[in-house]
Amino acid sequence: MIEFFLTTADEGTQQIDEPQPGCWINVVAPTVEERAWLATKLEIAPEFVRAAVDDDERAHVDYDDDTGQALIIMDCPFVEDEVEAEDISIVQYDTHPLAAIFLPRQDMIVTVSLRENPTVTSFAEGKVRHVNTNQRTRLLLQITLRVSQRYLSCLRSIDRQFRENERILRRTMSNRELIRMLGFEKSLVYFSTSLRSIEATLTRISQGRVIKLYEDDRDLLDDVFIEVRQAIEMCSITTNILNGTTETFSSVINNNLNLTMRTLTVITIVLSIPTIVFSFYGMNVGLPFSQTWLIPIAIALGCIGIAAVFFRSSHLFK
């Protein structure tokens, strides 16, 4: 899908039918024909088209000296698909790249994403104010700001789910809740890696060598840096809390297992004493007190009592 948007002084930002100078081109899940159109009609560098449609491409900035085109790729947070999620009862997250290509000769900016991106959709539907497609750098920074704010929203969602899962674990140590911890940790690893890559990309942009920065863009760039670093710090704090909680519950489980094994060991030892005493009477050997069972029973009970007192004094029942 390819959409064209243009900002004019009279009508604001409106969707148009054909690309024009100063427009923003939004490309979502491009087909083979649409990729060819980007390379031929818009004369985008072929390596930029290939990088923009690569789902494994990492966040970075690239520049083509021959055409003056610039490619900026950043990772955006997405809710994990049900077919990919290990547990659909909790909301897990993944990241996918969003590419922005600057075309200075055509006076256009192109965004490419392999799936419907809620952040870009909010711009296309006019939910974001003060959008001007003629200001390419500012539009990119506005998109990046919204992406970083979405990271914060997703991190707050992870924190709420984690707290609810912790309350359940305090009542019952079930494998389901422990496996959920793994899902939270996986989402946080994706977020941490992507946010640090975005910070490095913004640092490259702030130098003003790849894309031109205007004086008014500096304040917006500072706001984006603040949001991204806040998301990085929040992600780090949540990860540390999650790791500490996981280690604590792991220690509790090991401690409970040790207590259970200790109790079973005591029971086994106590029950083995009568077995040892009465096993002598199964042998073809004359034994004292063979005419009555009262004395062997008394001996067995006495041994059990001595063992119980010994283990109790050793704090094995505590």
Give tens-digit pLDDT for 109-157: 888 888 888 888 888 777 777 877 888 888 888 888 888 889 888 888 8
The pLDDT score that the predictor gives to residue 317 is 46
At 8 the pLDDT is: 80
Q: If 0-12 CB within 10 Å is exposed, 13-18 middle and 19+ buried, where does residue 174 land?
A: exposed
C-alpha angle 8-40-50 in degrees, rounded to nearest 5? 100
What is the average per-residue pLDDT within 275-296? 62
* CA distance linking residue 263 with residue 311, whole number of Å: 10
Residue 293 DSSP one-character state = S
What pLDDT shows up at residue 111? 87
pLDDT tens track for 97-110? 888 888 888 888 88
Parallel/antiparallel/unpaired status of strands 108-113 and 24-28: parallel
Cα 214 from Cα 216, distance rounded (Å): 5
Query: Could you tell me the two tokens for 290?
Result: 């063979």
Number of Cβ atoms within 10 Å of the Cβ of 263: 12
What's the pLDDT tens digit per position in 56-70?
A: 888 888 888 888 888
The share of the chain scoring above pLDDT 70, in percent, equals 79
Nearest-5° Cα angle at 207, 191 to 224: 40
Q: HSE (CB half, 13 Å, CA atoms) of 133?
A: 31
pLDDT top residue among 276 and 64: 64
Contact present, 158 and 149 (Cβ < 8 Å): no
Q: How confident is the model at residue 244 (pLDDT cuts 50, 70, 90)?
A: confident
- Label residue 30 by pLDDT band (50, 70, 90): confident
Looking at residues 263-270, what average pLDDT do you find?
72
Residue 316 pLDDT: 47
Q: Which residues pair with 70 in a beta bridge?
A: 63, 102
- The separation between CA 297 and the C-alpha centre of its own chain, rounded to angstroms, equals 64
Q: Where residue 294 falls among pLDDT bands split at 50, 70, 90?
A: low
pLDDT band at 39 (very low <50, low <70, confident <90, very high): confident
* Mean pLDDT taken over the chain: 78
